[in-house]
């Protein structure tokens, strides 16, 4: 009865969202969905809170802002990024609003896009206040392996102050996904979006989750007196005990400039839709929808690579394949040898190949550079075209490379 009431009232939308962070039963259901998809069978102690937001986009905007307003990050501080990464994570820290120093932890294509221990060790530096991770990654589309997850959890034991943000919007596409949120619940802010798994970017549905017992709240409580006083004044209009306002509720307040806290929150029909997606997925046993989606993207990838004419190792259990990166150095070297790769890098301007592909074949790939890749590369999304389109993209790429191979042969006298 209570559930039907919440859904009906939600869809009628005749009231502001109450509670503003999230409707009560909606939070329980979305929480169950996140638990199943992000935590699974991993032992998880305690409870977490959820804030329903306008997609992963709003989640990111709100989190950066509230971290700054609550002195968890300030201009000149250092944060770490797991790169390559969804471009906004590169751009936001550079904005005048934040002015953060950034340390990149580079995943290596030759290492199956995993982070080496050496890269992860950068998190041991106490200067690093927070680590922002997209897992499974965008664009390499690989989930972090168990070894790395456990390695980070070890580092966190040594650095209990380290704040982690894991953006797991692709988690549902991975096999047996376990989020960093499951391993380091007290340090981690979980970001999730319904955009990708449900092909529903227009709905603007996302969620932020934090453990009830977390280091964000602890760090805010331990701020110097002057800053606590200032924050007391900031949040005084919405609660009689501002010092006890949880980080996640500060996110809600800040999302509407505190003063509009009472009208904050995701529109109730959107919350209803979020509940429907969550319930659908919770009832998707035994994973019929999930497996169909995985088959679809993986089969498109095979078609693409088959047409380009390169084989790839399909045994990596961490591959997700929502996107694929065509890394010129890595794939070019395997297909045509190191000498050809060096020649092509020397004889083409950055992005020349991508521009030519766009001009000649009308195939537009995003440059990997925008996501912080180390080598020249292009990103192909496997999510939004038919398999026959990927066949055509693959052919266009093969033809383009063929032209360069001919030029290389002519200039070098070799025969590839």
Ligand X SMILES: *Cc1c(COP(=O)(O)O)cnc(C)c1O
**Cβ-based nearer residue to ligand X, 29 or 205:** 205
Residues 117-136 that bind ligand X (CB under 6 A): 134
- In the complex, what is the shortest distance from the CB of residue 224 to ligand X, in angstroms, rounded to a whole number? 33
Residues 84-113 that bind ligand X (CB under 6 A): 86
Give me 156's structure tokens: 């966190």
Q: Which of the stretches 12-20, 53-61, 306-314, 376-384 binds ligand X when contact is defined by CB under 6 A? A: 53-61
- In the complex, what is the shortest distance from the CB of residue 355 to ligand X, in angstroms, rounded to a whole number? 24
In which residue are the tokens 């638990």 written? 35
- In the complex, what is the shortest distance from the CB of residue 402 to ligand X, in angstroms, rounded to a whole number? 33
Residue 368 CB-density burial (10 A; 0-12 exposed, 13-18 middle, 19+ buried): buried
How far does Cα 85 stand from its chain's mean position? Answer: 8
Q: Which of the stretches 36-44, 54-62, 288-296, 300-308 binds ligand X when contact is defined by CB under 6 A? A: 54-62
Q: Does 167 bind ligand X (CB under 6 A)?
A: yes
Helix (H, G, I), strand (E, B) or coil at 324: strand
Q: Which DSSP string corresponds to 252-304?
A: HHHHTTTTTGGG-S--HHHHHHHHHHHHHHHT-TT-HHHHHHHHHHHHHHHHH
Question: Which of residues 67, 81, 163, 169 is near ligand X by CB under 6 A?
Answer: 169
Q: Does 56 bind ligand X (CB under 6 A)?
A: yes
Question: Which of residues 32, 57, 351, 381 is near ligand X by CB under 6 A?
Answer: 57
The 206-235 contact track toward ligand X, x by CB under 6 A, reads x-----------------------------
Q: b/e per residue, 143-154, with b = 16+ CB within 10 A?
A: bbbeebbebbee
Q: How many chain residues bind ligand X (CB under 6 A)?
A: 12
CA 315 – CA 34 distance, rounded (Å): 27
How far does Cα 71 stand from its chain's mean position? Answer: 24
Q: Which of the stretches 55-63, 64-72, 107-115, 124-132 binds ligand X when contact is defined by CB under 6 A? A: 55-63
**Cβ-based nearer residue to ligand X, 136 or 332:** 136
CA 256 – CA 294 distance, rounded (Å): 38
- In the complex, what is the shortest distance from the CB of residue 55 to ligand X, in angstroms, rounded to a whole number? 3
CA 261 – CA 20 distance, rounded (Å): 8
Q: Which DSSP string corresponds to 169-227?
A: TTGGGSTT---HHHHSTTTEEEEEESTTTTT-GGG--EEEEEESS-HHHHHHHTS-HHH
Question: Which of residues 195, 214, 324, 377 is near ligand X by CB under 6 A?
Answer: 195
In which residue are the tokens 């000498």 written? 339
**Cβ-based nearer residue to ligand X, 201 or 299:** 201
Q: Which of the stretches 5-13, 22-30, 49-57, 231-239 binds ligand X when contact is defined by CB under 6 A? A: 49-57
- In the complex, what is the shortest distance from the CB of residue 130 to ligand X, in angstroms, rounded to a whole number? 16
Q: Which of the stretches 52-60, 122-130, 383-391, 401-409 binds ligand X when contact is defined by CB under 6 A? A: 52-60
Give me 170's structure tokens: 């692709």
First to last CA, the chain: 71
**Cβ-based nearer residue to ligand X, 138 or 336:** 138
Question: Which of residues 66, 114, 138, 373 is near ligand X by CB under 6 A?
Answer: 138
Q: With beta carbons less than 8 A apart as the criterion, state whether 145 and 318 touch.
A: yes
Residues that bind ligand X (CB under 6 A): 55-57, 86, 134, 138, 167, 169, 193, 195, 201, 206
């Amino acid at each position: 009865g209570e559930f039907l009431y919440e859904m009906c009232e939600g869809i009628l939308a005749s009231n502001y969202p109450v509670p503003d962070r999230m409707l009560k039963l909606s939070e329980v259901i979305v929480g169950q969905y996140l638990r199943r998809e992000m935590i699974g069978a991993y032992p998880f102690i305690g409870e977490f809170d959820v804030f329903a937001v306008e997609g992963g986009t709003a989640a990111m905007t709100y989190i950066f802002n509230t971290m700054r307003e609550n002195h968890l990050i300030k201009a000149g501080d250092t944060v770490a990024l797991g790169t390559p990464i969804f471009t906004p994570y590169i751009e936001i820290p550079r904005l005048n609003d934040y002015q953060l120093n950034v340390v990149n932890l580079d995943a290596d294509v030759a290492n199956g896009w995993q982070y080496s221990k050496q890269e992860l060790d950068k998190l041991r530096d106490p200067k690093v206040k927070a680590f922002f991770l997209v897992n499974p990654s965008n664009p390499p589309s690989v989930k972090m392996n168990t070894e790395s997850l456990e390695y980070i959890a070890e580092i966190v034991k040594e650095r209990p102050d380290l704040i982690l943000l894991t953006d797991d919007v692709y988690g549902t596409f991975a096999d047996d996904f376990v989020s960093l949120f499951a391993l380091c619940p007290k340090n981690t802010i979980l970001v999730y979006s319904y955009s990708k798994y449900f092909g529903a970017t227009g709905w603007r549905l996302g969620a932020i989750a934090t453990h009830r017992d977390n280091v964000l709240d602890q760090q805010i409580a331990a701020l110097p007196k002057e800053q606590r006083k200032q924050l007391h004044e900031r949040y005084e209009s919405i609660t009689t005990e501002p010092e006890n306002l949880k980080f996640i509720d500060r996110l809600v307040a800040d999302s509407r400039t505190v003063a509009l806290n009472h009208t904050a929150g995701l529109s109730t029909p959107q919350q209803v839709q979020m509940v429907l997606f969550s319930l659908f997925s919770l009832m998707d046993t035994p994973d019929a929808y999930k497996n169909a989606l995985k088959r679809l993207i993986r089969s498109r990838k095979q078609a693409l690579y088959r047409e380009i004419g390169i084989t790839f190792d399909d045994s990596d259990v961490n591959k997700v394949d929502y996107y694929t990166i065509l890394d010129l150095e890595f794939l070019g070297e395997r297909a045509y040898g190191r000498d050809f790769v060096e020649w092509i890098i020397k004889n083409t301007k950055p992005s020349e190949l991508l521009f030519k592909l766009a001009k000649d074949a009308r195939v537009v790939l995003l440059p990997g550079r925008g996501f912080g890749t180390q080598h020249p590369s292009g990103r192909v999304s496997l999510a939004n075209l038919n398999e026959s389109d990927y066949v055509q993209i693959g052919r266009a790429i093969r033809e383009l490379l063929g032209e360069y191979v001919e030029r290389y042969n002519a200039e070098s006298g070799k025969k590839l």
